[in-house]
Structure 1
């Protein structure tokens, strides 16, 4: 039987670091996936088969508590089952760098029928195994408020790479965080005029402290670009809240929606606040 709390030690890669010499926020989603797969593979054959028959990530919630620098000791990821229902289950995580918790996260998953091409309910055996791994002593992560908008913000053309695809033939759930990040950097570069400076300054240091992402439908590889539309939903003294949507610019079909909180090292100037305000939702 799968233990109530499952521990996986995840190695870091040098290429996981960002321009600030910390592990990039999107890389942690990859670490969570490695821990989740290890959890499923360490259980009974029923859980192995869940990976073979298909399982989709429906939502990620990630709270970034402290930056992590590269080292060769690996990060200890404690994983447990938060809840299990008829057709969904939620996994909780704490990512530890030494004795410190660096990341708290939740993943909601749903079984998928690859042969039939649709979501399905959990079997009795699957529910029983997930229920045996349930651990309810950890504090839940409240949802970030969802945002609705029809216009405004910043548009970024998203090109899916062939290497982004997973074993199911769709863009891997991890890659969505990369897509949202690329669009966010483009927005920030435009609004804060990063590209007009020869070298980075303290004004360029912004860190993600929270990011939730809801997966609406799989992204397939194609030549035509998708679109990431990002809007600024709130502006603080040293913080910015963003909402983003990955969609098809031709049909309007929405593939994912994200909410992000950024915190900066320096207070925003009046000019920066004005530029960000022009990217508000309408």
Structure 2
């Protein structure tokens, strides 16, 4: 299953060429990831990810320029790898006609009190398992290696 997030484009997202700026795409990914891992996960298990998490890595392939418009873009999010103490979240930013970005983020659960990484809780793992789709290889689909 994939999480679907409708992300609005803002006027301030544009660069001097009228396209959405490359760094803004990371914010779109963050918004979708937060909606899935914090809003939905906490609805499923009230203590999910309350200890924190950190981003360990981003990988992003810009496939097409996205021109500012009033309609939102869709950010599809899923878990492409689920470990004991990390997970990889994959994404597509698209509309009905085009895929603009394919990306992935390695997320590490984090204990804010101790300042150290931690393992996923049973509740977090159970929630994330519903979003696992390891059949999609981001690099293979774009030809980027």
Tell me if TM exceeds 0.5.
yes
Equivalent residue for 2:62, pick from 61, 64, 88: 64
Q: Conserved in 2, the CA contact under 8 Å of 1:87 and 1:121?
A: yes
TM alignment of 1:1-282, pairs within 5 A: 4-40=1-37, 41-43=39-41, 44-46=43-45, 49-50=48-49, 52-141=50-139
Distance change (3 Å), C-alpha of 1:76 and 1:138 = same
Deviation of 1:99 after TM superposition, in Å, equals: 1.7
Could you list the per-position Cα deviations for residues 109-164 of structure 1 after superposition, in whole angstroms to 9, with x for gaps in the alignment? 0111111111111112212221221012312337xxxxxxxxxxxxxxxxxxxxxx
Whether the 8 Å CA contact 2:82–2:88 is kept in 1: the answer is yes
Give ranges in structure 2 of 5+ residues lacking alignment.
none
Work out the CA distance in 1 between the residues paired with 2:85 and 2:45.
16
Say whether the 8 Å CA contact 1:68–1:97 is kept in structure 2.
no
Gap regions ≥5 residues in structure 1: 143-209, 211-282
**TM-score, normalised via structure 2 length:** 0.88
**Residues 123-132 or 72-81, more deviating:** 123-132
Give the 3 Å change call, closer, same or farther, for CA 10–61 of structure 1 in structure 2: same
Total equivalences in the alignment: 139
Contact 2:62 2:101 in 1 (8 A): yes
Q: Which has the higher contact order (CA 8 A, sep 6+)?
A: 2
